């Protein structure tokens, strides 16, 4: 009797444990089935919302988007009414760390454009037989004193009346220089001080002083300067930081973005959206919202401004006044980054940067140039950057080198061939000297 009781007890225990295991398995299967079914329902709901957006007219469709909430639910939003928190959450999803995620973000933009076979516009800048001359006073007469100012005014009137001849002398800044700045390539401009770097950048960007005598030809994709407005295509970044000290960093960049407009971004996105609609392609919702936000100009708050603030490391001082000599504000390095950001928020495809490393440490310079390289290589930009003494790491980021001295171009070509060129000329770079320093000294 005792053995049978033990046997029956063990059987009852086994049956009970089996039922418990089966119940657990069934409950876990139900949990996973509910999760998968809920995900399918959310995907179906998002697909229906996107289908309703596709039925809107083009103008309305480019102002609507699907933005995911914290719970992962996509809601239809008006791009023009994006709040600060929504913009920050969107940027955090796209770019968590600027140094690591910016390239992946740009690749996603390029992937969406390439998926429909759309070509990104490029800008190729050529200058042929460029000559720049200036009439200047030399010696003590060139000093900015009150006496010289009065004498100069009198002499200018007498010279205009042909009573006396001008005492100004002709100074040649450039003499018969030619070259090409290619798209999708980072071009570095090197040269000693007063060699003509700033004048060359100003001439190519269409911002040269009209009092200078200029001859030769500067063209963008074969079109000369008088055929279009170069300021809408090219952006010149000065080596001088000139800002309104009472404005914050965010206000400065936002004001610059509103002044420059959106350029061809709207036309590009309109054609992109049309092709996606024909091919029945649904883009990534976050990328779609970002691209649509970049096509809306004249807003007090811009997603492009937030993006530039993040990649330049200015988000930590976005609400701090820029400051000046009389007003305390941001540091000198941050002020230089504001100068760079003022042009990056615009739609220009060609960037001409003059001594952007002044006031920046080597690490920050490397980070900024690296971000520019990613933009140029991925989105077909054109960059012509002047640096005084770049570090070896920053120097390696460039594709082409332009070496200038006394208004003449000594070398222009790939970075890899510059040492071979000077070796053939009889100049060898010492083993422990950086290539950039060697090129500066060989001038």
Q: Phi-psi region for residue 308, left (φ > 0), alpha (ψ -120 to 50) or beta?
A: alpha
More confident residue, 199 or 19: 199
Closest CA to 203 of 401, 384, 433: 384
Most confident of 34-38, 142-146, 232-236: 232-236
Burial (Cβ within 10 Å: 0-12, 13-18, ≥19) of residue 118? middle
Overall average pLDDT of the 315-333 stretch: 90
Overall average pLDDT of the 6-27 stretch: 45
Q: Lowest mean pLDDT: which of 12-26, 267-281, 293-307, 311-325?
A: 12-26
- Distance between CA atoms of residues 254 and 116, nearest Å: 32
For the stretch 71-76, contacts whose Cβ atoms lie closer than 8 Å and that sit 24 or more positions apart, written own/partner, are 72/42, 73/42, 73/45, 74/42, 74/45, 74/46, 74/49, 74/285, 76/49, 76/52
- Distance between CA atoms of residues 61 and 31, nearest Å: 38
Contact present, 284 and 90 (Cβ < 8 Å): no
**pTM assigned to the model:** 0.83
More confident residue, 26 or 211: 211
> What are 220's strand-pairing partners?
125, 223
Q: Which residues contact 243 (CB under 8 A, 6 or more apart)?
A: 252, 322, 324, 335, 338, 339
- For residue 21, pLDDT over 80 is answered with no
pLDDT digits (tens, 9 = 90+) for 202-240: 999 999 988 899 999 999 999 998 898 888 899 999 988
Contact present, 264 and 347 (Cβ < 8 Å): yes
Closest CA to 240 of 110, 342, 126: 342
- For residue 337, pLDDT over 70 is answered with yes
- For residue 361, pLDDT over 50 is answered with yes
Q: Lowest mean pLDDT: which of 22-31, 59-68, 211-220, 330-339?
A: 22-31
- Distance between CA atoms of residues 324 and 241, nearest Å: 10
Tokens found for residue 163: 């009573």
pLDDT digits (tens, 9 = 90+) for 160-185: 788 877 777 888 888 889 999 999 99
- For residue 382, pLDDT over 90 is answered with yes
Tokens found for residue 72: 């992962």
For the stretch 305-309, contacts whose Cβ atoms lie closer than 8 Å and that sit 24 or more positions apart, written own/partner, are 305/250, 305/253, 305/254, 305/257, 305/345, 306/87, 306/88, 306/91, 307/91, 307/95, 308/253, 308/341, 308/344, 308/345, 309/249, 309/250, 309/253, 309/341
Angle at 112 between CA 110 and CA 116, to 5 degrees: 110
Residue with tokens 């006394």: 406
Contact present, 262 and 347 (Cβ < 8 Å): yes
Overall average pLDDT of the 141-148 stretch: 82
- For residue 33, pLDDT over 60 is answered with no
Contact present, 204 and 179 (Cβ < 8 Å): no
Q: What is the pLDDT of residue 351?
A: 95
- Distance between CA atoms of residues 404 and 202, nearest Å: 15
- For residue 2, pLDDT over 60 is answered with no
pLDDT digits (tens, 9 = 90+) for 241-255: 889 989 999 999 999
Average pLDDT, the chain: 85
**Which value, to the nearest 10 degrees, does the dihedral of the CA atoms of residues 382, 386, 390, 393 take?**
0
Q: The dihedral of CA 77, 78, 83, 84: what is its sign?
A: positive
- Distance between CA atoms of residues 431 and 428, nearest Å: 9
- For residue 28, pLDDT over 80 is answered with no
Overall average pLDDT of the 414-420 stretch: 93
């Amino acid at each position: 009797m005792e053995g049978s009781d033990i046997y029956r007890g063990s059987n009852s225990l086994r049956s009970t444990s089996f039922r418990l295991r089966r119940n657990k398995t069934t409950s876990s299967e139900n949990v996973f089935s509910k999760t998968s079914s809920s995900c399918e329902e959310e995907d179906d709901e998002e697909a229906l919302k996107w289908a309703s957006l596709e039925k809107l007219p083009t103008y309305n469709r480019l102002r609507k988007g699907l933005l995911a909430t914290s719970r992962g639910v996509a809601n239809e939003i008006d791009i023009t009414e994006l709040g600060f928190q929504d913009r920050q959450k969107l940027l955090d999803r796209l770019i968590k760390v600027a140094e690591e995620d910016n390239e992946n973000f740009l690749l996603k933009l390029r992937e969406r454009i390439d998926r429909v076979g759309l070509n990104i516009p490029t800008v190729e800048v050529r200058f042929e037989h460029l000559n720049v001359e200036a009439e200047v006073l030399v010696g003590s007469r060139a000093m900015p004193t009150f006496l010289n100012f009065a004498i100069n005014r009198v002499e200018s009137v007498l010279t205009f009346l042909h009573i006396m001849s001008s005492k100004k002398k002709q100074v040649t800044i450039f003499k018969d220089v030619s070259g090409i700045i290619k798209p999708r390539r980072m071009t570095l401009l090197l040269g000693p001080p007063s060699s003509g770097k700033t004048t060359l950048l100003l001439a190519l960007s269409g911002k040269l002083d009209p009092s200078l005598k200029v001859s030769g030809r500067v063209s963008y994709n074969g079109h000369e300067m008088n055929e279009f407005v170069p300021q809408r295509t090219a952006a010149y970044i000065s080596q001088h930081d000139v800002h309104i000290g009472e404005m914050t960093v965010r206000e400065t960049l936002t004001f610059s973005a509103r002044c420059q407009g959106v350029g061809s971004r709207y036309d590009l996105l309109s054609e992109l959206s049309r092709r996606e609609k024909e091919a029945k392609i649904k883009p990534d919702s976050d990328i779609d919202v970002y691209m649509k936000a970049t096509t809306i100009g004249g807003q007090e708050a811009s997603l492009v401004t937030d993006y530039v603030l993040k990649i330049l490391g200015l988000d930590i001082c976005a609400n701090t006044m820029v400051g000046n000599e009389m007003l305390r504000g941001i540091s000198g390095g941050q002020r230089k980054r504001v100068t760079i950001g003022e042009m990056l928020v615009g739609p220009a495809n060609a960037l001409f940067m003059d001594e952007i490393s002044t006031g920046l440490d080597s690490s920050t310079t490397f980070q900024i140039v690296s971000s520019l390289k990613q933009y140029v290589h991925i989105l077909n930009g054109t960059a012509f950057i002047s640096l005084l003494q770049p570090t070896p790491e920053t120097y390696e980021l460039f594709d082409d080198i332009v070496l200038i001295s006394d208004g003449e171009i000594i070398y222009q070509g790939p970075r890899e061939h510059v040492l071979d060129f000077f070796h053939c000329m009889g100049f060898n770079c010492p083993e422990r000297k950086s290539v950039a320093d060697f090129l500066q000294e060989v001038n």
